[in-house]
Amino acid sequence: MTNLKMTTQSGDTTIIGQDAVEALAASLRGDLLTPATADYDEERSIWNAMIDKRPGLIVRCAGAADVIRAVNFARENTLLVAVRGIGHNIAGNAVCEGGLMISLSGMKSVRVDPRARTALVEPGVTLGDLDNETQAYGLSTPVGINSTTGIAGLTIGGGFGWLSRKYGLTIDNLISADVVTAAGELVKVREDENEDLFWGIRGGGGNFGVVTSFEFQLHPVGPEVLAGLIVHPFSEAGKVLRYYRQFAAESPDDLTTWVVLRKAPPLPFLPEEVHGTEVVILAALYAGNMAEGEKALAPLRAYGNPIADVIGPHPFTGFQAGFDPLLTPGFRNYWKSHDFLELNDETIDTAIRFTGSLPSPHCEIFIAQMGGATNRVSPDSTAYRHRDTEFIMNVHGRWEDSTEDDRCVSWCRELFTAMTPHATGGVYINFMTGEEQQRVQAAYGDSYGRLVELKNKYDPTNLFRLNQNIKPSI
Ligand SMILES: Cc1cc2nc3c(=O)[nH]c(=O)nc-3n(C[C@H](O)[C@H](O)[C@H](O)COP(=O)(O)OP(=O)(O)OC[C@H]3O[C@@H](n4cnc5c(N)ncnc54)[C@H](O)[C@@H]3O)c2cc1C
């Protein structure tokens, strides 16, 4: 190993001597990867293939002690730092050019206490890993809808999925966490200990430190749930979405229904002539008693003339992974997202108009139904602010070849702009790209000032800057 050229927090180049690198490597229980190491390329690759960055060093941590060593090394050498959970975030901040990447992908322990209905979870765990362990006891907690997503990034941004209308956001089920601060100290955070930091990591992203352990509240779920898809012809989209809006407003908390507008994938239950044509997909999950779920879903299933209705009893873990085939890594992705209080006629018509001009067969518009328990928490009680959001729309641009970049990105931006007058102005930080720094303040609304104070206290030099960044004011 020779001396290394690395990037500092201010973007300059610095030389890290061979001795310092060797001493860091020797201190770790995990691995230190350089561009010459075998696993380097795998570790720096993330879900969004638009992002291709080469860190100077990667610490693949085996535990909290490695995280402390990596944070201290970065701070002492003023290095640019990226923190990777599973690397699913669209913005690509999990990896950096020339700096130090702290990878948590090897920290994969999940310890369930079935009697207390809690789980201790390390930050390299995927949502699928978590479900796998908790469902062994018929338990779960609200997380996202794609099982390969990382629990760490999802939680610190807020986190929502099929169980959220019943049990709240992922952060509403966070009991405590262990955090390594920029000073390299491991602290416990919960309601009665370091409560300011506990407030901040529930929605404030990776701005305040590296979370090395999460403790979640679990709830009885499944193992079978009533769930599935109803697929309608695109020609009926206007009527179906107007009916959906009414149905969603009257749904109990146990029931969550999302809308997906896209070209039909070649699913076995869809007639071949529908494959590759635009459709309206209603995806639903009832998180309670099966018979009551049948009653709650009956009106939606009776509406119109769907092409397919595959609502039925499904293993919960199966439905949690149901969208995985459409969300595999390796594609180029660009997202734009808005929060909504309602789906007014203009919103519905705009979504339909843009679905008529999808720039790639993999692009889609997702509308997640929020409300229920997610909105019964005071906006002040966690850093996730927008507790009045009823729907989150994600314009998901997704394509294979870089020659399609301009066309697909433009489609997303145009749709986003057309929707802006009808949206709240708020946004979920986990759906923001790397170029949306100007939206960070809006993402935190009235909590922004308190977050800046917290940043001043816990990370005054902005060591953790590769995220939807809250800048210190000192
Ligand atoms: C296909 C797809 C589907 C999704 N569906 C949902 C959904 O249904 N619901 C939902 O809520 N979200 C969803 N998301 C968004 C998801 O919550 C974010 O992408 C989340 O950041 C992923 O976490 P990660 O650990 O994999 O990400 P990473 O890219 O590894 O991390 C994201 C950022 O979080 C920070 N970070 C990560 N780990 C830590 C840590 N331990 N301590 C401190 N900071 C850390 C870093 O700043 C990092 O840049 C989805 C994303 C994708 C790509």
> What tens digit of pLDDT does each residue of 376-417 get?
999 999 999 999 999 999 999 999 999 999 999 999 999 999
Dihedral of alpha carbons 114, 115, 118, 119, sign: negative
Give the mean pLDDT of the chain: 97
> Ligand 1 test: best mutation among 430, 437, 458, 462, most atoms within 8 Å of CB?
430
How far does residue 467's CA lie from ligand 1's centre (Å)? Answer: 10
How far does residue 235's CA lie from ligand 1's centre (Å)? Answer: 35
**Nearest C-alpha to atom 35 of ligand 1 is from which residue?**
206
How far does residue 463's CA lie from ligand 1's centre (Å)? Answer: 19
Average pLDDT over residues 313-337: 96
Please work out, in degrees rounded to the nearest 5, the angle formed at the alpha carbon of residue 427 by the alpha carbons of 425 and 429.
150
- The closest alpha carbon to 450, from 357, 383, 390, 386, belongs to 383
**Nearest C-alpha to atom 3 of ligand 1 is from which residue?**
146
Report if pTM > 0.95: yes
**For residue 175, is pLDDT > 90?**
yes
Task: Give pLDDT, residue 314.
Answer: 96
Cα(20)–Cα(68) distance, rounded to whole angstroms?
16
How far does residue 154's CA lie from ligand 1's centre (Å)? Answer: 4
Task: Give pLDDT, residue 473.
Answer: 96
Average pLDDT over residues 5-15: 97
Average pLDDT over residues 38-53: 97
> Ligand 1 test: best mutation among 84, 101, 366, most atoms within 8 Å of CB?
84
pLDDT band with cut points at 50, 70 and 90 for residue 141? very high
Atom of ligand 1 nearest to the CA of 93: 49
**For residue 238, is pLDDT > 70?**
yes
How far does residue 391's CA lie from ligand 1's centre (Å)? Answer: 19
**Nearest C-alpha to atom 7 of ligand 1 is from which residue?**
144
Cα(48)–Cα(409) distance, rounded to whole angstroms?
14
How far does residue 233's CA lie from ligand 1's centre (Å)? Answer: 33
Q: What is the pLDDT of residues 87-96, one digit of tens each?
A: 999 999 999 9
Q: What is the pLDDT of residues 327-343, one digit of tens each?
A: 999 999 999 999 999 99
pLDDT band with cut points at 50, 70 and 90 for residue 8? very high
**For residue 474, is pLDDT > 90?**
no
Atom of ligand 1 nearest to the CA of 159: 11
Task: Using alpha carbons, list the distances in angstroms from residue 371 to 117, 241, 250.
Answer: 25, 18, 11
Q: What is the pLDDT of residues 157-166, one digit of tens each?
A: 999 999 999 9
**Nearest C-alpha to atom 44 of ligand 1 is from which residue?**
206
Task: Give pLDDT, residue 2.
Answer: 80
Residues with CB under 6 A from ligand 1: 47, 83-90, 93-94, 104, 123, 144-146, 149-150, 152-154, 156-157, 159-161, 205-206, 210-211, 327, 430, 466-467
Cα(57)–Cα(64) distance, rounded to whole angstroms?
18
Instruction: Say if CB 447 and CB 380 are below 8 A apart.
Output: yes
Q: Which residues partner with 263 through β-bridges?
A: 278
How far does residue 327's CA lie from ligand 1's centre (Å)? Answer: 14
**For residue 323, is pLDDT > 80?**
yes
Atom of ligand 1 nearest to the CA of 84: 30
pLDDT over 70, % of the chain:
100
Task: Give pLDDT, residue 9.
Answer: 96
**For residue 1, is pLDDT > 70?**
no
Average pLDDT over residues 340-356: 98
**Nearest C-alpha to atom 22 of ligand 1 is from which residue?**
153
Cα(256)–Cα(457) distance, rounded to whole angstroms?
39
How far does residue 359's CA lie from ligand 1's centre (Å)? Answer: 26
> Ligand 1 test: best mutation among 47, 81, 104, 154, most atoms within 8 Å of CB?
154
Phi, psi of 63 (to 5 degrees): -175, -175
Cα(396)–Cα(69) distance, rounded to whole angstroms?
38
**Nearest C-alpha to atom 42 of ligand 1 is from which residue?**
210
Q: What are the b/e assignments for 439-467, b being 16+ CB within 10 Å?
A: bbebbbeebbebbbbbbeebbeebbbbbb
**Nearest C-alpha to atom 6 of ligand 1 is from which residue?**
144
**Nearest C-alpha to atom 31 of ligand 1 is from which residue?**
153
